[in-house]
Amino acid sequence: MSPTATRPLDALFRPQAIVATILVGEALAILLALAPARIADRLVLFGLVSLAVQWVSLGTLALLYLLRAPLTRLPTARQAWAAFGIFLAMSALVSWGGILLVEVADPLAEARPAFLLRWTGIAVVVGLLGLLAYQNYWRARQLAVRAKQLELEALQARIRPHFLFNTLNTGAALVHAHPDEAERVLLDLADLFRTALRGPQEIPLTEELALARRYLDIEALRLGPRLVVRWQQPPELPDIEVPALSIQPLVENAVRHGIEPRRGGGTLDLHVRIVGDAIEVVVENDLPDAAPPASGHAIGLASSRRRVDALTNGSGRVESGLEQGRYVARVVVPIAERGGPAQATTR
């Protein structure tokens, strides 16, 4: 699950939320400037109210950001009420600061208690409306996350028969001629399905690459010298997590629809690189002698793309297409984040 799904306050620090806060504040300032007031010049009144409103709204966001670590340890409902309390405290601070720092005439000075009462009332109403909007957003977010999880589980139900059929054919071909190798195939298959049956989740990158290796070991037994694998990766991989079964289906796709249809076999390259602040896994394969049938080829790629898209909250991507006469599939996951939009061509 994405960080935003488990830390609801993070939604307040997105650029869209900050811009929306500023615009709502300006709209409130316009409404207050149009209300009856002692200041006749509406532009001056709008400027003063706008300044006060933005101090309150942006100051509240700044305090929430500074206090986000202890606040995220609270239940979701208490986080919302804590944010409401911080908003009221900031409103009181700005109102008192305005009274103390701005020199006013005596008639206005006599109206300070009424001014504070009106300002506090407005702050309470605006805060409660914001609290209601926040709670509605959080409920909608939870429903969206649950819907995405159900979508991934449905995709898994579609992929497992396809994956099982392909791998069991390999084991069946080895049972009589090479029983020891058939046993190894079944053990590797058990490891692969143990991961598949866990459901949508994130696993260490090293574990996902190990699953891809097991799959290639299975196919190497079946295809023999027709499959040449070249594997390149740095000596030490970053300690990050990637969506489970996000790389292995791309490797399976390369073997089934690239190497296997070729009469003389072909070469599959798997490169793991650190590019800036992201980890990049590239799967390249030779093209088949003839274009393969279109049906069924997109299952593995669609699986990887949806997993990366759903479980990295837009911070990763999956790309695929022809590059320099070879088919290339690329998975990119930022190192600094736990997990993403996916844009790619289909295979």
Spell out the domain ranges in the chain: 3-110, 148-334
Distance CA 270, CA 228 (A): 11
pLDDT greater than 50 at residue 153: yes
| pLDDT on residue 28 | 82
| pLDDT on residue 12 | 78
pLDDT greater than 50 at residue 76: yes
Q: DSSP H helical segments within 13-111, as ranges?
A: 15-34, 42-66, 68-71, 76-101, 106-110
Provide the pairing of β-strand 326-334 with 317-323: antiparallel
Distance CA 61, CA 22 (A): 11
Region for residue 19 given its phi and psi (left: phi exceeds 0; alpha: psi -120 to 50; beta: otherwise)? alpha
Q: Are 114 and 120 in contact (CB under 8 A)?
A: no
| pLDDT on residue 343 | 33
Q: Are 13 and 58 in contact (CB under 8 A)?
A: no
pLDDT greater than 70 at residue 236: yes
Tens of pLDDT, residues 195-226: 666 655 778 888 889 888 888 887 887 788 99
Return the structure tokens found at 298: 């997109």
Amino acid occupying residue 80: A
Please state the length of the chain.
Answer: 347
pLDDT greater than 50 at residue 83: yes
Question: Which of the residue ranges 40-44, 93-97, 243-247 would you say has the lowest mean pLDDT?
Answer: 40-44
Q: What percent of the chain has pLDDT over 90?
A: 8
Q: What's the gap between Cα 144 and its chain centre?
A: 13
Q: Are 217 and 182 in contact (CB under 8 A)?
A: no
Question: Which of the residue ranges 40-49, 146-155, 283-292 would you say has the lowest mean pLDDT?
Answer: 146-155
Going from the C-alpha of 124 to that of each of 58, 84, 129, 236, the distances in angstroms are 17, 9, 9, 54
The three-state secondary structure class of 271 is strand
| pLDDT on residue 5 | 45
| pLDDT on residue 286 | 92
Distance CA 151, CA 167 (A): 25
Stretch 302-307: mean pLDDT, rounded?
A: 74
Distance CA 333, CA 336 (A): 9
Confidence of residue 326 (pLDDT cuts 50, 70, 90): very high
Question: Which of the residue ranges 175-179, 256-260, 338-342 would you say has the lowest mean pLDDT?
Answer: 338-342
Q: Which CATH architecture has domain 148-334?
A: 2-Layer Sandwich (3.30)
pLDDT greater than 90 at residue 151: no
Q: DSSP H helical segments within the chain, as ranges?
A: 3-6, 15-34, 42-66, 68-71, 76-101, 106-110, 112-174, 179-196, 205-223, 248-254, 298-311
Tens of pLDDT, residues 35-69: 776 666 778 777 877 888 888 888 888 888 888 88
| pLDDT on residue 347 | 35
Q: Are 86 and 60 in contact (CB under 8 A)?
A: yes
Q: Spell out the residues 6+ positions from residue 125 whose beta carbon is closer than 8 angstroms to its own.
A: none
Going from the C-alpha of 336 to that of each of 36, 229, 342, the distances in angstroms are 52, 30, 18
pLDDT higher at 230 or 196: 230
Confidence of residue 282 (pLDDT cuts 50, 70, 90): very high
- The distance between the two most distant Cα atoms of the chain, rounded to a whole number of Å, is 103
pLDDT higher at 180 or 154: 180
Amino acid occupying residue 258: G
pLDDT higher at 141 or 121: 121
Q: Are 202 and 241 in contact (CB under 8 A)?
A: yes
Q: What percent of the chain has pLDDT over 70?
A: 73
Confidence of residue 281 (pLDDT cuts 50, 70, 90): very high
| pLDDT on residue 328 | 92
Amino acid occupying residue 157: A
